Structure 1
Amino acid sequence: MSALILDGKALAKSREQQLHAAVKKFQDGGGLQPVLATILVGDDPSSATYVQMKVNACARVGMGSRFISLPASTTTDQLLEKIDQLNNDTEVCGILLQHPVPEQIDERACFDAIAIEKDVDGVTTQGFGLMAMGEPAFGSATPAGIMTLLKHYDVEISGKHAVVLGRSPILGKPMAAMLLNANATVTICHSRTQNLAALVAQADIVVGAVGQPELIKADWIKDGAVVVDAGYHAGGVGDIEKTGLQERVAALTPVPGGVGPMTINALISHTLESAQRLELSTVHPNTVE
C-alpha cells in the first residue's frame, strides 16, 4: 500500500484560480475589492515571513491587503485602538492579528476585539462558540483548511475515531469541534495525557498539532490511518515522525506542502466571503443577521 498524498499546495493553487475568478465577478458586479488587513507586532522573522505569504496570496487572487507593522513595545491598549480603527474601516473585510504577540500584550483581549464579521482567521471566542454549535462563523483558518483538504480527497470522517494532539484555542480545540461536527468520534490529547501512544494507536484519523518536532512517533500510528500534520519546524519536519508511514497508512499530508498552503487559502477564502456578506448587509440590510 502506498499512501494517498493530501497535497495542500496543489489544491490551494487550484482554489486560488477559482477565487481569482470569484473576486473578479464580485467586483464586476459592483462590489469593492476585498481587503485583508494584517497586523504584525514586533519583528519576529518567522511571523514576518508568514505575513508576507498572506500578502502574496491576496495579490494572486486580486484581493487587496493592508499591512500594519507595530513595534514590539506596543501595549494592549495601543493594539486595541488599532483593531478598533480597522473594525470601523469600511474598506477592510478581514482582520488578521499575527500570532504570537509580545508577552506584555493580552492576546485574548485583542483577538476578541476583532469584529465578528471581520474575524476571517476564526480567533474570537464568539466565532469559536458559533462554529462549535454549528452556526455560521468563520472557523479558525488552519482547521478550516484541513477540513477542506479532507473533503477534497474524499476522506471519510463520519463514524471514524479522530485523535487530535494539541489543545490550542486556534488549532487543536477548533479542529476537534469541526471533526465532531462532521460526525467523528474525537479524542483530544495534550501534555498531561497518559498512555499517549495507546490512544494514537486507536485513531482512524491522526491530527498532529502539538508544536513539537516529531513528538508523535510513526510506530504509534496504525496501518490504514489518515495522518494530518499541522506542524512545521526547522529542517522541514512536522509534529509527526514520517519514517515508514507512506507504506502503511491510507493518506498523509506532506511537510511542507500539506496543511500550510490550505491555512492561507482558507484565510483568503473567508475574506472574500466576508466582503460578500458585508456588501449584502449594506445593500439589503434586512437580509443578513
Structure 2
Amino acid sequence: MLTLLGFSMIVVFMYLIMSKRLSAFSALTVVPIVFALFGGFTDLGPMMMKGLETIAPTAIMIIFAILYFGVLIDTGLFDPLVARIIKMVGGDPLKIVMGTAVLSLIVALDGDGTITYLIVVTAFLPLYQRLGMNKLILACIPALAMGIMNMSPWGGPAVQATAAVKADVTDLLLPLIPSMIAGMLWVIAVSYFLGRRERKRLGIINIDAAFSEEIAAALDVGMDESIKRPKLFWFNLILTILVLTTLVMGFLPLPALFMVAFAIVMIVNYPNLQDQKDRLHAHAGNILTVVSMIFAAGIFTGI
C-alpha cells in the first residue's frame, strides 16, 4: 500500500508540474501532505520537521554559494575572460563555437542558468549575427554546459539528489568528478563538430576593429561600472581557486566554506555597508526562488 501511494504521489506530482497546474514549490509541499492524509498519517509535523532539518545545511550552502558567485560576477571577474575569448575567436566559426563552449562551462560553475545565458549570449550573439551563423547553436551549447555543471554541489539536480538519498553533498560530488570531466570533454567535442560544420558552410570571415569595438560596447550595456572591481581581479581569482580546492579536498563543510568565502569577498570588494546591502538585494530574488524549492523538497522527502 505504501509503495502504491509513493509511486502514485510521484506520478501526480510530475503531472501537476508538467501540465503547469501547480508550481514546483506548491506541488512539493501540497501533494505529499494530501497523499499522507489519504494514507491515514495524521501526525505529519515530525515528518516534515525531520525533512527540513535534513535539508537545512544544503539550503545554507546554496544561499551562500549563489551569493558568492553572484558577487564575483558583479565584480567583473569574468570580464577579462570574455574579452580574451572574443579576441581569440575572431571570424572563424569553429573558434566561435568552441569559445562559446569554454565560456559556458566556466560561467555555468555558479549553477545559475539565467546568468550563464546572459553572459554567453550577450558576448557571442553579435558574432553569430554578423557571420550568419545558426543561432540555435548559441542556445544549444550553453544548455549542454549547464547540464554538466549543474552536478556541482550547489546546482539544482545535486541538491535534489542529496535531499532524496540524505547523503552528504561532498560524498556525492567526489565520485561525480570523473563523469563531469568526461561531460565537459563531450561538450567540447560537440562544439567542435558543430563549429566545423559552420566553418565549412560559411568559411572564415575577417572581423574589423570597428566591429570588435561594437561587441565591447554591447557587453557593457546595462552593466553598472561602479560595482566592478578590476583592481581586485587576482585576489578574487585566487580566492575562488582556494575555495574550489578546499571544496574538493573536504577541509570544511560546504555551508561553512561558502559562508566564510562570501564574508571575505564582501569585506574586501565592498567594504561600505550600503554597497553590501545593495549586493544582497540584487541577488535576493535568485536565492528566494531556489531555496524555497529546497525547503519544499525537505517536506516532500520527510513525508
Structure with the bigger percentage of strand: 1
Structure with the bigger percentage of helix: 2
Indicate the structure whose relative CO is greater, using CA pairs within 8 Å and at least 6 residues apart: 2
Looking at CA atoms only, which structure, 1 or 2, has the larger radius of gyration? 2
- With normalisation by structure 1, the TM-score equals 0.29
